[in-house]
Chain A
Amino acid sequence: MTHIEVTVNGEKRSAEVEPRLLLVHYLRDHLGLRAANVGCDTTSCGACTVLLDGKSVKSCTVLAVQASGHEVTTTEGLSADGELHPVQAAFRQHHGLQCGFCTPGMVMAAVGLLAEIPHPTEAQVREGLEGNLCRCTGYHNIVQAVLAAASEVTA
Chain B
Amino acid sequence: MIPAQFDYVAAESASHALGLLAEHGDEAKLLAGGHSLLPMMKLRLAQPKVLIDIGGLAELAGISVDGDDLVVGATTRHADLAASDLVRHEVPLLAHAASQVGDPQIRHRGTIGGSLSHADPAADLPMALVALGGSVELQGPDGSRSIGADDFFTGFFETAMRPDELLTAVRVPRQPGVPWGYQKFVRRANDWAIVGVAAVDGRIALANMGPTPLRATAAEKALAGGASPAQAAQHAADGTSPGEDIHADREYRRHLAKVLTRRALEHQAG
Contacts and interface: CB of A to CB of B under 8 A. Distances in A.
Contact of B103 (A20, A63, A131): A131
Contacts of B34: 61-63, 66
A113 B3 contact: no
A139 to B, nearest CB: 11
Given A42-B39, A43-B39, A131 B8 contact: no
Interface stretch (B63-71, B105-113, B125-133, B199-207): B105-113
A109 B34 CA distance: 20
A73 interface: no
Interface string A61-87: 111011001000000000000000000
B105 A19 contact: no
Best-buried of A43, A55, A69 by chain B (most CB within 10 Å): A43
Contacts of B38: 61-63
Contacts of A130: 103-104, 189-190
A28 B41 CA distance: 21
Nearest to B37: A61
B148 interface: no
B158 interface: no
A41 B42 contact: yes
Contacts of A148: none
Chain A interface size band reads 20 to 34
Contacts of B190: 44, 130-131
B108 A57 contact: yes
A66 to B, nearest CB: 7
A18 interface: yes
A62 to B, nearest CB: 7
A137 interface: no
B8 A65 contact: yes
A20 B2 contact: yes
Interface in A16-71: 18-20, 22, 41-44, 46, 49, 52, 55-58, 61-63, 65-66, 69
A128 B106 contact: no
Interface string B28-50: 00010011001101100000000
A47 to B, nearest CB: 11
A96 interface: no
Closest 4 CB pairs of A and B: A131-B103, A19-B8, A130-B103, A55-B108
18 contacts: A2-B8, A19-B7, A19-B51, A20-B2, A20-B3, A20-B6, A41-B1, A41-B42, A46-B103, A49-B105, A62-B34, A62-B38, A62-B109, A66-B31, A69-B56, A130-B104, A131-B105, A131-B106
